[in-house]
């Protein structure tokens, strides 16, 4: 069917941020003698630690409740930004967004991350002007996997949810969009490739594959 709007998740869809974030957690777990398989870690991808928390998981594994999470989070953030230095948009972003612009299809970024994180990246990469709106944590009562963020994006664009296509890389995001009444194309990345995206309408290997459908 034809769509009036296409909504993109941010982390792992527009920019490959998730691998660096996962690696920072994996290193911390290894420092304390434990592994952090992707199959477990992906429970929080697309949502937050209320869904599943690596902090609680590490505390449970080690039997230790005295971690200085303030300092550890600050250290991980430095590691993440160092690893992401010079990172660009994912392959296919420019072509996909350009195709949508030519067809007059509205575009939004919908993320459970903060505006500071998402808007910062969109501005840095020059992508901000190419989207009509950005909906992030705090713009709706609940984040993914609840449908609130996607419903807020549809409201802002003044489109019916059934006329919206969502591009997601996580199951939390997929469930969020489906519960909002939207179609979902899943584009797994190296963090979420282990997941079963049966709930999605279609699954693609990259955004470049999606372009051919428009």
Which residues form the catalytic set? 9, 11
127: Cα separation from own chain's centroid: 16
Show the tokens assigned to 52.
């599943």
Residue identified by tokens 């920072």 is 24
- Rounded to whole angstroms, the Cα distance separating 67 from 140 reads 31
- Rounded to whole angstroms, the Cα distance separating 7 from 113 reads 15
| 161 and 150 Cβ atoms separated by less than 8 Å | yes
Residue identified by tokens 């010079």 is 86
């Amino acid at each position: 069917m034809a769509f009036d709007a296409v909504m993109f998740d941010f982390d792992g869809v527009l920019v490959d941020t998730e691998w660096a974030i996962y690696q920072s957690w994996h290193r911390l777990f290894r420092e304390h003698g434990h592994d952090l398989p992707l199959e477990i870690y992906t429970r929080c991808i697309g949502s937050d630690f209320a869904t599943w928390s690596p902090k609680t998981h590490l505390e449970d594994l080690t039997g230790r409740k005295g971690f200085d999470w303030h300092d550890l989070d600050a250290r991980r953030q430095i590691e993440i930004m160092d690893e992401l230095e010079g990172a660009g948009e994912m392959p296919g972003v420019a072509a996909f967004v350009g195709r949508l612009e030519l067809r007059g299809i509205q575009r939004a970024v919908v993320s459970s991350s903060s505006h500071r994180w998402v808007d910062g990246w969109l501005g840095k990469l020059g992508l901000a002007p190419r989207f009509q709106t950005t909906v992030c944590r705090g713009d709706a009562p609940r984040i993914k996997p609840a449908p609130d963020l996607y419903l807020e994006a549809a409201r802002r664009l003044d489109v019916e949810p059934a006329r919206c296509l969502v591009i997601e890389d996580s199951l939390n995001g997929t469930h969020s969009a489906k519960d909002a009444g939207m179609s979902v194309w899943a584009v797994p990345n190296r963090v979420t490739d282990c997941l079963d995206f049966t709930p999605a309408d279609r699954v693609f290997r990259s955004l470049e594959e999606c372009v051919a459908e428009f």
